[in-house]
Amino acid sequence: MNPQQYIYVGVDLHKQHHTAVIIDCWNQKLGEIKFDNKPTAFPTLIKEVKKHLSKEMKAVYGLEDIGGYGRALAVYLSESGCWVKEVNAKLANARRKSHVTVHKSDSWDAENVARVLRDELPFLPDAKPIDLYWAISQLVNQRRWVARNLSGTLKKLHQQLGYHYPSYKKFFSQVDGKTALAFWWRFPSPHHLEEITEEQLAKFLRVLSHNGLSTKKAVQIKELVESDGDTKRDFQDKRDFIVRSLVRDIRSSESNLSRVESEIKEMMVQLGFRLETMTGIDLVTAADLVAEIGDIHRFATPDKLARFAGVAPIMVGSGGKSRNYKSKQGNRELHDIIKALAIRQIAVTRTKKEPRNPYFHQYYEQKLKAGKTKQQAIVCIMRKLVNIIHYLMRTKAAYIIPDVSSHNVG
């Protein structure tokens, strides 16, 4: 690949408009154009770029965000036969801050994207905005938003219940379980239980829990409420309203979460991946991986995927000495997903205390014996996981835990 055969187009993306800067292989600025973020305006970018193309030269475009504001442009450029690369925003930001005088503008940001594109071209993933992957990504983002909202609402419910029922955590194994939510709705504070007998309460619980809870639980709740004392205060009805409102919101969020996950499952089936055959990967984790990675064929090798995820170490050397350091670049969302997955590989079952994945558990123990810290050993597992994920997504094969008894896992 001869850098002199290309011109490099960096695009700074925004909701209403984009700014593109064109440079040559010597980092000399050739041109700049600002255009609206709408398909009818995109041809003006290609037209401007062609003005700076001489015979046998090609243009390569660099976009920071192909899943948000830049998606429409990425789709247009790809369908027009252009070569489009995805530029990590952290790389462009680091390039901007590396100058003696740090300033910020759309033009300067676009130029730094172009400079990163020029210097890192062989290592940047191709931008392939395939609709299926984009739709999954949007559904995953929606699920994350709903889950965060549900988590926040649940915290508020805990706070309110703490005022009304000091011993509420002993009532049910799950505060947001079906039976528990029905109880908080019917009895948002203890004074609603005053006229309810133990048998009436037992019948209420029995129906909701499909005979899982009955008289014993009713007696326990009554005793706990009595031991807590009187918690009724002025404007209690307003506080009861808050509890019921939170219960309503939790039910709505849980229902929405279920619907979103159903849509995700339907789309994941179309891809044909078998990621869920691996220890620690469920539907949500598999969808998270696909949403962040996209088309696996963007990454020719596991090494490129590792760099994209910020898992590959960075070598720093001086005076004939060198050392590998943990990377803080790459896709941090994907990095965190793989890290959480690595931790699951070394977990043990609750009952028998057996390793969930004997292969990685033994590999982890070997790294610790070799002098690695726990965090360093987890990073080693993350790097192996990248290889496995890359293979499983490219081949759509099922994961089989290697036999640790027949060979050394190191």
Nearest Cα to Cα of residue 278 among 286, 268, 270: 286
- For β-strands 321-325 and 17-23, DSSP reports them as unpaired
Is 134-267 the same fold as 3-129?
A: no
Model pLDDT, residue 152: 97
- End-to-end C-alpha distance for the chain, whole angstroms: 36
| Other CB atoms within 10 A of residue 167 CB | 15
Which range of 209-213, 291-295, 318-322 scores highest in mean pLDDT? It is 291-295
Bridge-partner residues for 18, per DSSP? 35
What share of the chain in percent tops pLDDT 70?
Answer: 95
Model pLDDT, residue 185: 97
To the question of domain 3-129 being in CATH 2.40.50.140, the answer is: no
Bridge-partner residues for 405, per DSSP? none
Taking residues 122-135, report their average pLDDT: 88
Residue 96 pLDDT > 60: yes
Model pLDDT, residue 317: 53
- What residues have CB less than 8 Å from 18, skipping those under 6 apart? 11, 12, 34, 35, 36, 37, 45, 69, 70, 73
The chain-wide mean pLDDT, for the chain, equals: 91
Nearest Cα to Cα of residue 199 among 222, 182, 179: 222
Model pLDDT, residue 351: 85
Per-residue pLDDT band at 88 (split at 50, 70, 90): confident
Taking residues 225-242, report their average pLDDT: 94
Residue 99 pLDDT > 80: no
**Selecting from 1.10.287.4070, 3.40.50.720, 3.40.50.1370, 1.25.40.10, what CATH number does the domain 134-267 have?**
1.10.287.4070
Model pLDDT, residue 330: 81
Residue 318 pLDDT > 60: no
Say if residues 227 and 265 touch (Cβ distance below 8 Å). Answer: no
Taking residues 342-369, report their average pLDDT: 92
Per-residue pLDDT band at 138 (split at 50, 70, 90): very high
Residue 409 pLDDT > 80: no
| Other CB atoms within 10 A of residue 188 CB | 24
Taking residues 45-60, report their average pLDDT: 93
Say if residues 236 and 244 touch (Cβ distance below 8 Å). Answer: no
The overall pTM is greater than 0.85: no
Say if residues 125 and 304 touch (Cβ distance below 8 Å). Answer: yes
| Other CB atoms within 10 A of residue 309 CB | 29
Nearest Cα to Cα of residue 294 among 132, 80, 121, 73: 132
Residue 240 to residue 288: CA distance in whole angstroms: 38
Model pLDDT, residue 128: 81
What share of the chain in percent tops pLDDT 90?
Answer: 77
Model pLDDT, residue 404: 78
**pLDDT tens, position by position, 270-283:** 999 999 999 999 99
Domain map (residue ranges) of the chain:
3-129, 134-267, 272-395
Residue 82 pLDDT > 80: yes
Model pLDDT, residue 161: 96
